[in-house]
Chains A and B, each alone.
Chain A
Amino acid sequence: MVRHYNNALPRPSTANKKLIPILPPEVKVKRGPISLNKVWYRGSSGRLIVIGQHITQLFKFERITLDYHHALEVQGYTERLITEAMRNGDRHIPTMELADFYIHEKQLVHKLFKVLVPRYIDYTDSFTKLWRLSPALSREDIITGKVRHADKGCLELKGNPLPPIEPPKYISRKSYLTNVLLDAAKKDFYASKQFSDNQTSKKKVETSAWLENFNSSLELISIYRNQISDIKHI
């Protein structure tokens, strides 16, 4: 009879059967698989079910909060699933099996092929973004060392309709018209006779000189403003 223990030879892996695009540098791949153990889903086959739960949530809400080390793992799987859907389309049987496995709510399979694929079809970067959040703890727990939480992360799909997490970028206001005019007024003022005369009398009465300068600059601004209004009328 055949022996019962595992005496299988090292088999050739199924490597290089496909042509797979490289994952962008935002996705961290330089590590082994992370075990996402839960009570009811154990082992390597249960791990994929947990990832599937996260992916359905992500496709549904487009932004989710979860443990950071879960998010690291989920990010790669979502990117690969979307690229597979982009490459092969919805008439390909193995990709539909993949989508059926990872997406537990079946109405979201339509969303993958009809909404997400056309959205990312011109992308050269990653489709997802990961943010690191602080672990939500009460202060007592931290002091007593009762609970040890993992870091939290926020995973989102790019191009979502939700308000952005990122604060709006700082735009320099130097190019605004009023600021340009003010700079020009300053230059003119420093070059003028009034300034040089004031500077000689500055040592005697400093406070009065400052006030005069300020008033004169205001006058200049008003003159410029009138000029602009004239131009507009023309």
Chain B
Amino acid sequence: MVLPRVIKLIHSYNVPLYCQLRSASRSWIYKGGKGIDKGKGFSFTYTSTPDDKRQIPLSQKLIPEELESMRLKYPEFLPSTKPEHRNKIKTVLEHNDMLQRRNNIDIPEFYVGSILAVTVSDPNAAGKISRFLGICIFREGTGLNSCFTLRNIVDREGIEIRYDLYNPTIRSIEVIKLEKRLDQDLRYLRDAEPQYSTFPLDMEPELRKEGAPVPVNPIKVKMLPLPWSIDWFKIRYQHQTYGIEKMRGVWEYYYKRSVHNRHHNEYEQFDLMKEYRSHIPEDAQLPIWNKLSDYEKSTSEIKKKARRAKMIKR
């Protein structure tokens, strides 16, 4: 008869505080049939309130021009786009771990559309090392969860591998061709013609000058005839894709049907607050980039020497 009492006690202590608070905070919302919905409350880790009062007027930009491109160069250092998943302490702890990992391995800058080669230590592979080369289709995740997918066609069969960027089993990441594409997402290559995603596994890396701007490849892909694995038309309507060649007589039909069938926000592009919540404001970005630029300056000379030593070995 003693046991259940103990369990009850433990249970009551184990109920996290925020659950109780959340139920209390939602009580001010009108409940009932025809009540007025005052919006669903976000969790308490939502980090958008400024710590200090802003000193520069709102008409001027806070981030200098040197650090503007950092958000494209290191997208994994920004907190997540969903405000529910943001946490200030988590980001600080993860950034320290990520920089520690970057001391041990050279993680180069790369974008969606650039060609990479990754070597991983694998106990089941021959020689306990496996190397894969392919085009980077997609980048996702934030912090230590950030990952990227590589795609290539080997022996007439498409292969995609998703790597965690900060996985300790990764031995090296080589950039073989550094370039951008018109889209942030190239997963439509699955239903494109195979010539756009075939690369020889022993491809030689392209030499490029240090500090040169990253070129954009304005190629437009030819798609295979229907059926496709996924309806790319609908996605085209929501977030516009530029890298697909237009097919005659098909686009308008699907465009109309996608509007007709679903509850769709026609004016999503004008929703300013939705945009604000998905973005991370300048004031939150600036301390991150300041920290990273200091790290870059301290380790730039060491990494240069290491890269030159690699090139000489070949």
A residues near B (Cβ < 8 Å) are: 1-4, 6-9, 11-25, 29-35, 43-45, 48, 67, 69, 73, 76-77, 80-81, 83-84, 86-87, 97-98, 101-102, 120-124, 148, 150
Contacts and interface: CB of A to CB of B under 8 A. Distances in A.
B293 to A, nearest CB: 16
Interface in B258-305: 261-268, 270-285
B42 interface: yes
B278 A23 contact: no
A83 B273 CA distance: 13
Interface in B25-69: 30, 36-42, 46, 48-50, 53-59, 61-63, 68
9 contacts: A6-B231, A7-B231, A8-B231, A29-B48, A31-B41, A48-B271, A80-B273, A80-B276, A83-B58
A155 to B, nearest CB: 15
A101 B282 contact: no
A31 B43 CA distance: 9
A81 to B, nearest CB: 6
B232 to A, nearest CB: 9
Interface stretch (B91-99, B124-132, B213-221, B233-241): B233-241
Contacts of B139: 12
B50 A24 contact: yes
Contact of A33 (B54, B61, B270, B274): B274
A81 B184 CA distance: 27
A76 B274 CA distance: 11
A123 B54 CA distance: 10
Interface stretch (B103-111, B153-161, B168-176, B222-230): B222-230
Contact of B50 (A19, A22, A32, A123): A22
Nearest to A81: B272
A109 to B, nearest CB: 15
Contact of B235 (A8, A29, A98): A8
Q: What's the dominant secondary structure at chain B's contact region?
A: loop
Contacts of B42: 30-32
Contacts of B166: none
In which size bucket is the chain B interface? 35 or more
B145 interface: no
The 3 A-B residue pairs with the shortest CB-CB distance, nearest first, are A22-B281, A80-B272, A32-B40
A9 B273 contact: no
Contact of B263 (A16, A43, A69, A120): A43
A44 B267 CA distance: 9
Between A15, A80, A86, the greatest number of chain B beta carbons within 10 A of the residue's beta carbon is seen for A15
Contact of A13 (B40, B49, B81): B81
Contacts of A25: 49-50
Nearest to B112: A12
B87 to A, nearest CB: 14
A6 B231 CA distance: 8
B230 A7 contact: yes
B75 interface: yes
B138 interface: yes
